[in-house]
Structures are given as C-alpha cells and as structure tokens.
Amino acid sequence: MTKILALIDGSIYSKSVTGIAAWAAGRLSLPVEIAHVLGRRIAGNFDLSGQLDANERTTLLKKMADLDEEHGRLAQQKGRAMLDGARAEAAATGIEVNTRLRNGDLLDALGDLEAEAEIVVIGKRGEAADFARLHLGSNLERVVRASKKPVLVAARAHEPPKHFLIAYDGGASANRAVDYLVSSPLLKGLRCTVLSVGADTPENRSRLEAPVTRLAEAGFEVHSILEPGEPEEVISAHVEESGVGLLVMGAYGHSRIRALVIGSTTTELVRRCKIPVLMFR
C-alpha cells in the first residue's frame, strides 16, 4: 500500500516530522508509517592488550558484552517509546498510522522502508546535530542523496502551509517537481509562486512560461518572479518576506539552485529557510 514514510529519531524535530507527515497523508488520503532506525551499536573501544592475564581479559570482555547488550535493550525501549508517542500524535488527526523499529544503518534500511512510499519525511536536524551552529543533520544529506522518492524536510515547527514557493531553474529535477505538483492533490488549493533567479532577459522570462502555464491549467493560483542575485539570498528573502509556508526545489544537479545539501548554496538555503522544504531529484 502506498504510504507517507516519516523517519524520526530522538531530536526535537520528531514532533514536526510527525505533524507534517500526518498533514501530507491527509492531503493525499494515505496512511503514515513512522519508522525509527536504531543504528549500529559500537562496543567500547578498550585496549585489553596491556598487563592483563587471560582470566582478567575474559572477565572484562564479558562485562563489555553485557554492557553492550544492556545498551541495546535500552535503545529498543527508547525507540518503541518514541514510536508510540509519534503514533498517538499522528492518529489524533484521524489518519491510519503504522510504526516500524529497525536495526542497522539508516541507508541500508531506507530501500526497504521507502519501497511503497509516496514521500519520505525527515527532520532538518538530527539528535546529534550542532543546533548552536545551525548544522544540518548528517542523515538529511544521506537520505536525500539515496532516496528515490521526493523528500520532505521538516522544519522545527509544523504549521500547514497556505502558500508555497517553487525555486525553478528549468532543470530536470525542477521540472519533475512541477510534474508531481500538477498531478497530485498534495498542494492543490494553495497559492503558488514560481521564482527563478537570474538576469531579466527574454530567455529567462520564456523559461518561466511553461511551468506557470502548466500550474495554472492544473488549477493553481500562480505568481511568477524573475529576480537577479545570489539564489540563497533571493530565495530566502522571498520566503521570509512573503509568508511562504513551503519551499519546493530540485535536488542534485549542476546549477547553483539544484546543488544538493553538500553544495554550499543549497546548504545555506536550507539553513536559512525556517520552513519545510520538498526536494525532488
């Protein structure tokens, strides 16, 4: 069955991931599956090669194994508690909710978890991110790189959007975003702005015509903007000034807008925009 896949960890973003996943599921009439991947446990790295006899080494190894097993049990309990809380929050919206607890590396589990997913939802920052320096979560980049599905990046707080902005550069991934939006009920009824960053030339204005026409024909109220400048500056300014609630953009590509999170422009853009970002490859 097609679903919305929500990936949560122990970060403060888990609540907003659950909220926006439930919102998307309601818009698409789909169930939500909330998943938590425990990750590989790494036993303590103790040097037992010193002045220890065989019995002492055996005793210490046994204690280390017992400690690792106990950490595993605690991680399982914490994971189930997180999933139970998230399920209760999502179910309160009236949607169908399932949960999954997995062991191993997130990317190893992702292929199976997202097999029937319409959209993958993940938080902008994870449990180990440096919030003071606004570092993006390491799993965010890994998931967007590896996922074959659109990835919806949750902001710190969730509020259903009424107006969304498409950062459009004419590339393949930006056009896939438009393809999805015109054929999906996800954002139908919301105001739409299509923003392209570049010089005011006939060529750049012509590039905007096709997506604007397609979106208008699909029933969107569309406004287009062509503005020169640096993409991260122009886009983040429009997000802040216009009250946009969702940014839609391509991921992976050669242009500055479509560079993935590893690229400096997109890193800065995702960091600056305090709203959810829907990414397409």
Nearest to 264 by CA among 225, 227, 226, 233: 233
Model confidence at 50: pLDDT above 80: no
Is residue 46 pLDDT above 60, yes or no?
A: no
Confidence at residue 144, expressed as pLDDT on a 0 to 100 scale? 83
DSSP classification of residue 13? T
Q: Which fold would CATH assign to domain 161-281?
A: Rossmann fold (3.40.50)
Architecture of the domain defined by 1-157:
3-Layer(aba) Sandwich (3.40)
Of 60-74, 109-123, 255-269, least confident by mean pLDDT is 255-269
The more confident residue out of 166 and 141 is 166
> Where exactly are the structural domains of the chain?
1-157, 161-281
Range scoring the smallest mean pLDDT among 2-16, 85-99, 139-153, 209-223: 139-153
pLDDT in tens, 156-201: 888 999 999 999 988 888 999 999 999 999 999 999 999 999 999 9
Range among 74-83, 140-149, 218-227, 271-280 with highest mean pLDDT value: 218-227
Place of tokens 């919206």: 93
Q: How far apart are CA 48 and CA 66, in angstroms?
A: 16
> What is the 3-state composition of the chain as percent helix, strand, coil, each rounded to the nearest 5?
40, 20, 40
Given this model, what pLDDT does residue 168 score? 94
